[in-house]
Structure 1
Amino acid sequence: MQLAPYVKLPMTEVTGKVVFKVGEDTYQTWYKIVGDLASGAHPLIVLHGGPGISHEYMTPLAELYSKCNIPVIFYDQIGIGKSIFEGVAEKPKEFWTVDLFMDELDNLIAHLGVQNGFALLGHSWGAMLGAHYASHRHPVGLKHLILTSGAPSMALWEQSTGQLLKALPANVRETIEKHEKEGTTDSPEYHQMLGIFYDKHACKAPWPKVMETSFGAMMQHPTVYQTMIGPSEFTITGTLKSWTCLEQIHTITVPTLVTNGVMDEAQDVCVSPFFQRIPHVKWAQFSQRHMPFLEEEDQARYLQVVADFLTYP
């Protein structure tokens, strides 16, 4: 179903920070609201990827406000972007947990007063967080869930990206494997080879400025990504290595939209369990890579599919 023609609304923005307490320590979560939370429409909360890649690359989703009057809430999870804090690199690995980020999300929802009605859209790690949150905490105000290019377990993610790594030219694959084995992942050669993988499966080069901003933030403050993931998308050595919510996703009762791309890091092996196990689910596949909202070939269709899903449950 296609939306009726619309009158484009002006992009009104409000930014702020919410205090987030963890034990005796206090942090601040930066957020941005595009649109009016008093409009009566359930807002869409956007969960960025990484962990530890800031929100900017997902800002094309702000178009959903002008498209169908759905307020969109972006935020940077603590440890990255505008929610960075002093001493982030000194935090023990035990600090960085899925529960930490679910608590932060709960705190943001309560602060903004949207706990009685909201939608979640998670991308990559954000989709993993969204699926875990929906299947473990079952928030009563959650109305729609969108899982873009994620997986219900890190084992499935590794299976997918491992297959893609094997399909790379031998010299690229062998160089990546050599540097990871020798612990020289700070080498320019290693990052050059990773760039070939990312251009093929993450986002087409040249990268949009918003993506460069987000990945630049991660390169400047790599603690969260390196602690929870490891050196790369296909070599998971961090605290998320054994993560899974596969056995809980059948308990997600809200309407759910699952998406991935043909050339995505999240191949069908990642997303098909969502489609098979979540009771009320749709699956849309796009023609390009991991970032459909940044790809010229997919962006308009992706935004339309999301808008239709949120507007016509």
Structure 2
Amino acid sequence: MEGKVEFHVPGVSASCQTWYKVVGDLNSPGSTPLIILHGGPGASHDYLLPLTDLAPDIPLVFYDQIGGGRSTHLPDRAGDEAFWTADLFVRELDNLLAHLNLRDRPVDLYGHSWGGVVVTAWASTPSSSTNLRRLVISNISASMDLHRAGIATLRKRLPEDAQAALDRGEAENDFTSPEYQAALEVFSKRHLSLARPWPPKEVQDLLQWAAEGWYVYTTVFGPNSLLPIGSIRNWTAIPSLPKIKVPTLVIDGAEDTPSEAMQPFFDLIEKAKWITLDNAAHMSHVDQREKYMKQLQRFLAA
């Protein structure tokens, strides 16, 4: 089932819509829907479609966040840091749950990468998350300071010519030169996805949709994943993590940002379980698809 829900965005006169897709039966007796939030921002749900492996036992709700995918695009808001906030996406999630009549029944929540920022904010707000049963946080640092430190560690492991190209591009504020893009690809093959041949379909989907929602990504994050200089630059989930009281699965790949970046989730969430998959990077659900899905199934069924 696919559909769109009206989403009133303060300060935007035109009607906005959030596109969503339901896989499975939301009304299946005894089942708890899993609401899936993609990364980006400005991307789409497509690269997370491997999660359909969890169906039909678990009803799944995919959706494209505002500014990305098949939902309303607002390119005139490019650069508006006061507009593209985590709170906007939290309100969008609330709006979608209300439309699907899921505000008064148990739900599970999954956030990958940027989606982890949104689900962490939502889950740590008691007034909005009273119906949350279980939470999955996948491949996201607990703060931008930890992300920057992790990226610095990974960059030092790159070949010297790739490091030099990245340093030169950033010094010259030129992120589109062939040399800089080639160095980014070297990094991506090591730390975005290990799947081969390169790029796997899911990476192609991610890059394609992110190119359309570029204005959201660059405003919130920056020119690329190595440089969090957008509105998210000072973000941290750490103070709010003790407020998350539901069982939480923290899952990542050994070749993603080093483990120190995710450690606070495990330390500060009361009922956290942490799994790191070997031979997997940021797209752990692609690199180790079978193992990843088994861990999700076990956690959600426990």
The alignment's TM-score, normalised by the length of structure 2, stands at 0.93
1:268 aligns with 2:255: no
Give distance in 2, aligned partners of 1:233 and 1:208: 18
Q: Which amino acid aligns with 1:92?
A: D
> Structure 2 vs 1, CA of residues 228 and 171 (structure 1 numbering), >3 Å: closer, same or farther?
same
Picking from 194, 199, 217, the partner of 1:207 is 199
2:253 is the counterpart of 1:256 = no
Structure 1, unmatched stretches of 5+, are: 1-13
Name the counterpart of 1:7: none
Deviation at 1:238, TM superposition (A): 0.1
Which stretch shows the higher mean deviation, 186-195 or 70-79? 186-195
2:3 is the counterpart of 1:16: yes
Distance 1:98 1:86, change over 3 A: closer
Greater CA deviation, 201-210 or 240-249?
Answer: 201-210
Q: CA deviation at 1:188?
A: 2.6
Task: Give the match for residue 232 of structure 2.
Answer: 240
Shift of 1:42: 1.0
Cα distance in 1, alignment partners of residues 204 and 102 from structure 2: 31
| Counterparts of residues 163-178 of structure 1 (less than 5 Å) | 163-178=153-168
Identity %: 37
What is residue 148 of structure 2 aligned with on the other side?
158
Matches within 5 A, 1:93-108: 93-108=81-96
Partner SS state of residue 248, structure 1 = helix
Contact 1:32/1:73 (<8 A) preserved: yes
Matched residue SS, 1:73:
strand
- Stretches of structure 2 that go unaligned for 5 or more consecutive residues are none
CA RMSD of aligned residues (A): 1.5
Question: Cα deviations across residues 161-183 of structure 1 (Å, max 9, x unaligned)?
Answer: 12101221111011112112211
Does structure 1 conserve the Cα–Cα contact (< 8 Å) formed by 2:45 and 2:64?
A: yes
Is contact 2:43–2:213 with CA below 8 Å preserved after alignment?
A: no
1:111-260 correspondence to structure 2 within 5 Å: 111-115=99-103, 116-137=105-126, 138-204=128-194, 205=196, 206-260=198-252
Distance (Å, rounded) in 1 between the aligned partners of 2:156 and 2:33: 41
TM-score by length of 1: 0.90
After TM superposition, what 4+ stretches of structure 1 lie above 4 angstroms from structure 2?
88-91
Judge conservation of contact 1:135–1:245 (CA < 8 Å) in 2.
no
AA partner of residue 194 (structure 1): L
What is the CA distance between 1:86 and its match in structure 2? 5.0
Are the counterparts in 1 of residues 86 and 117 from structure 2 also a CA contact under 8 Å? no
Distance apart, 1:90 and its partner CA: 4.3
Deviation at 1:85?
2.1
1:44 to 34, 42, 57: 34
Report the CA distance between 1:214 and its aligned residue: 2.1
Contact 2:78/2:216 (<8 A) preserved: no
Q: Distance in 2 between matches of 1:232 and 1:191?
A: 10
Structure 2 letter corresponding to 1:155: D
Aligned pair count? 294
| Deviation digits for residues 132-189 of structure 1 (CA, Å, limit 9, x no counterpart) | 2111355111100001111221111111112101221111011112112211112232
